[in-house]
Structure 1
Amino acid sequence: MKILIINKRNLISLLLYIAVIITLTTIIIHFNPYNYKATQTISPLNPSQTSQIDLTGDGKKDSLQIVNAQNKIDLNITSSNNSYYLSNQVQDKTLFNNNTHWEPKVFIHDISRDNIPEIILQGSKNDKSACYVFHWNGKNFTLVYYSNNNIFGILDCKNQKTPQCYSLSSSGGLSSLNTFMLINNKTLNTSNNNSNVPSLESITNFINLIELPYIVDDLPDIFTTGIDKENLSLLWGLDKDNYSYSFQNAFFYDYKWTQSGEPYSIRWRLSFEKSNLKGNRNDKSEFIFVIDLQKDAASYKISAIQKAK
């Protein structure tokens, strides 16, 4: 049997070599142009369940429940034996109206970076879009933002920058764009610094594609070359001979960034009204797409399509 003997000098050289390899690997990973610190999925809470989340920053789980009564939808939060109805922060005491094909969505995310998550609500009120952002100020849940715009998103969602919120109307486009940060319990308007929404052009083209009353033969150039063909098959299965689709609202956020800090991957959640062309006027349901886009040169292209509902 041969016994490998390594002298002290060779051992030091070997250890230095290993250290250099580890360091170079770390540098390559760190400076990868598509590197990101963490991926966090922002999905709406299940409306049929009572959610247990710390919403006040005291380390204790609070109870969050959607309340549906008298054609009105409210959100009730129970924290430390105190009950808070978010509708009390709205002038007409109504968050949303009951709408089976446009159900309210509740998103939880720490926009202010104070380790206390904000509550983002999207839904319909009097057949129009309604979007709210609520924040715990230490004593109560206060309304810090409200809009009738039907698109809301968060960029710099989970990187080293302060998150920015984007709000706009699908009909008004960029002319309706409003952006803000939430700092020290107050909104800071940043609209003058933002004139564009990354990936909006491809999403607008996708919405137009879904709303067409027929299936197109050739798809627009908004998809990556590597997109799964099964994803694209969702577009062929919409049965537009029997159903029409009308865009309702959207929520988006970024989850991967380039080395320069630009969004590389963005996820959109698109809600459509699906109407039965051969049924009665109330024969409607909600159809939801979850879309992932990746930066492709100066534009963003769709890399994945999922049906959420």
Structure 2
Amino acid sequence: MKFKIFFLRLKHIYYIILAIVFIVLFTIFLVSRKSIETFNIFTENKIIKKYDVTGDGLKDNIYIKINNNKYSIAVKSKDKIYTLQPSHKLNSLGTYKSYSPLKLILTDVSRDNISELFTQSSENNTNLQHLFIWDKTKFKDILHTTNNIIGFIDVHNNKTPKIISSNFNNNDLVFSNYILVKDKLKPYYCNYPSNFIGKDTISTFINYIQSLPYSSNTKPNDLFHESGKISCFNIIDKLASANRKYVFQDGSFSDSDYDKNGEISDVKWILNFKSTSNLVKEDCKNMSVKLFLKSIGDSKSQFYFKIYSINVISN
């Protein structure tokens, strides 16, 4: 039996090493771009232990408490406790209501491996929105608005992460756009089209859900992707048959996938509604609706992002 012996030239070894490095880096990129924000709703005292929010490489304890019906948040890092102090311009983390509990979102928009803390809540029928970042000695509130939607784009690709604070009002979504630069929030201008990340789809969907149960027979077909239309309609029928009234409270969104050109192709939205029984007015609670949207067709067309999945969570 003859054996063949292959000799690798030096340049071939270089090519192999480069190929291995490329595969490893590409794998890391795919894993990182698939990660999503952590979204939590708090209706009672709670401790979170999974995230490093102070940059020491250790998981911190995040305490969410309700005292005298008002929310407070503190972080225990090693042997120190840091209380999140809202800006005096909007000096509250909100009051507890069964239909509008505090929402906490943790995500790394600065790409420094430290999670920023975003809160959504309400007080006296006013929405409250805060962004807390760690500045090496304390948590600083660098965004405080009365908007009712917070969103994140380009967090998991190779573009600059962006924060979008929005308000759903008069059937429209108005965006305020920011990037985080050296622990400071910088506004940027961008005239996003009406169908950007599903703005038109979400506005129409909110209005439709708020019209239930009376409009259950006139579903807005154009909002839904063919692949998930039947399952989405089944969920909507269940909401309509519950004989409840739904009023939008607040929401959040983030992009979750991109096409070969790096453009956003998939978006996750979370919309929170006040759900009240039409038979027993005291029966009032929060209902969260998770929507998954996918881009389809002409990017300039109406409802370019269509809903292909709905998941309803009631608290």
Q: Which moved more, 1:230-239 or 1:213-222?
A: 213-222
1:253 is paired with a residue whose SS is strand
Alignment of 1:162-241 (within 5 A): 162-171=160-169, 176-190=174-188, 192-196=189-193, 197-213=196-212, 214=214, 215-227=216-228, 229-239=230-240
Between the aligned partners of 1:56 and 1:237, the Cα distance in structure 2 is 43
Between the aligned partners of 1:292 and 1:116, the Cα distance in structure 2 is 27
The answer for the alignment partner of 2:294 in structure 1 is 294
1:198 is paired with a residue whose SS is helix
Instruction: Deviation per CA, 1:9-36: give whole Å up to 9, x if none.
Output: 8x99xxx9xx9xxx9xx99xx8xxxx88
2:233 is paired with a residue whose SS is helix
Instruction: Deviation per CA, 1:175-229: give whole Å up to 9, x if none.
Output: 7320000110101111x22434421111111111111132124433011111163
- The percent of aligned pairs where both chains have the same amino acid is 23
The higher radius of gyration belongs to 1
Between the aligned partners of 1:225 and 1:275, the Cα distance in structure 2 is 31
Q: Structure 1 residues 276, 220: CA separation in 2 closer, same or farther (over 3 Å shift)?
A: same
Is contact 2:248–2:272 with CA below 8 Å preserved after alignment? yes
Unaligned 5+ runs, structure 1 = none
Between the aligned partners of 2:220 and 2:177, the Cα distance in structure 1 is 32
Give me the TM-score of the superposition, normalised by structure 2. Answer: 0.82
2:38 paired residue among 32, 36, 43: 43
1:199 is paired with a residue whose SS is helix
Between the aligned partners of 2:171 and 2:218, the Cα distance in structure 1 is 27
Is contact 1:174–1:195 with CA below 8 Å preserved after alignment? no
Is contact 2:74–2:82 with CA below 8 Å preserved after alignment? yes
The answer for the alignment partner of 1:109 in structure 2 is 107
Q: Structure 1 residues 58, 173: CA separation in 2 closer, same or farther (over 3 Å shift)?
A: farther
Between the aligned partners of 1:200 and 1:88, the Cα distance in structure 2 is 29
Q: Structure 1 residues 138, 112: CA separation in 2 closer, same or farther (over 3 Å shift)?
A: same
Unaligned 5+ runs, structure 2 = none
When the two chains are superposed, the root-mean-square deviation of aligned CA atoms in Å is 2.7
Q: Which moved more, 1:121-130 or 1:194-203?
A: 194-203
Between the aligned partners of 1:275 and 1:176, the Cα distance in structure 2 is 27
Deviation at 1:71, TM superposition (A): 1.9
Q: Structure 1 residues 88, 174: CA separation in 2 closer, same or farther (over 3 Å shift)?
A: closer
Is contact 1:45–1:51 with CA below 8 Å preserved after alignment? no
Deviation at 1:81, TM superposition (A): 2.0
Is contact 2:171–2:204 with CA below 8 Å preserved after alignment? no
The answer for the alignment partner of 2:74 in structure 1 is 76
Is contact 2:90–2:144 with CA below 8 Å preserved after alignment? no
Query: Match of 2:53, as an amino acid?
Result: L
Is contact 1:232–1:305 with CA below 8 Å preserved after alignment? no
Q: Which moved more, 1:117-126 or 1:91-100?
A: 91-100
Q: Structure 1 residues 236, 262: CA separation in 2 closer, same or farther (over 3 Å shift)?
A: same
